[in-house]
Structure 1
Amino acid sequence: MKADQGRVALVAIMDRLATGDEAALGDLYERTSAKLFGVCLRILNDREEAEDVLQDVYLTIWRRADRFDAGRASPITWLATIARNRSIDRLRQIGRRGGERPVEEAEAVADAGPDAFEILAGSEDGVRLAECLRTLDERTHRSIVAAFYGGITYETLAERLSVPLGTIKSRIRRGLIKLKGCLSQ
């Protein structure tokens, strides 16, 4: 019940944000910054980098708020995905600049808070998604969960499973198409 109220509140904030309401950005930051900072910090393992990325995340949200579709994803899932992708992008930039930390280190960083999958699993959307995920074969299911909820890059996943990168990409793409079909029923 409380999760549903939180989702409704976030959807309303996202609607306000899409119309250019600056106060909505503050409201969104207040409700979500701790979780999104946790996502960034878990991947980057560097507080300063995570703070920089978090600022970029909210700028991205401000610019793209009109693209959010509550019918496709919950607000926190959409926001966490942006944070995850921006963090991975920054980790790759650090690597190109000659940083000491490889991208793979991001996987070992613990986050005591619930991850996006746990948050989603408790919602009505999450129950439906879990049902649809169970319709996938085990390899595809594990690959999608690892990539989208575990923050693992396709490259790392391919290495871990000892399969070509193209195979991972194809497997996940086919799985996402099946999920989309299942969720639209």
Structure 2
Amino acid sequence: MNFRSAPIDGEVQLVSRLRQRDEYAFRWLYQHYAAALLRAVSKRITHHEQARDVLQDVFVKIWQHIDRYDAGKGRLYTWMLNVAQRTAIDALRTSSTQKQMGNYQHVTLNDDTTHVVDQLRWVLPRNPDHIDLRQQVNRLHPVHVELLELIYFNGYTQREAADQLTIPIGTVKTRLRTALHQLKQAF
């Protein structure tokens, strides 16, 4: 039995052999960790085929970047799990961007108005006035309206709003969270 097909004895040896580009060690790694990493990827990407594609990307990144693994910062599995999660998030972002831009075209007319055109209809650009944001804000409790006015419409920081209203910063944060939750429910 030569080195290339010798059994893997521990994480240190596995990492060493991976860094030497030992394909047997990489196959061993895949056989022992693919299922766990696929489960991690599938928590973010529910479409099975896309999750399997992302898993392949994960193993390519592991192979290419094994030299970045630092045993002093954690176990190999933890590092690979982080690679898997970051790759899944990147895939979601890429997929989301492609979906958003894929079926639409931007058309600029002579009056510098940009319209977004999908396959079936014209869609005007989004404008906060069209969703009656101020009207929705004005339906909230007056303490919430006052706080939202200061922070979002007048550009105050939370600290500045607390000083202006002479209330603790914690109260500002709680009221702001409540107000935003209520607005979210309105839409």
Relative to the length of structure 1, the TM-score reads 0.48
Larger relative helix fraction: 1
| Higher RCO structure (Cα 8 Å, ≥6 apart) | 1
Larger relative strand fraction: 2
Largest Rg, 1 or 2: 2
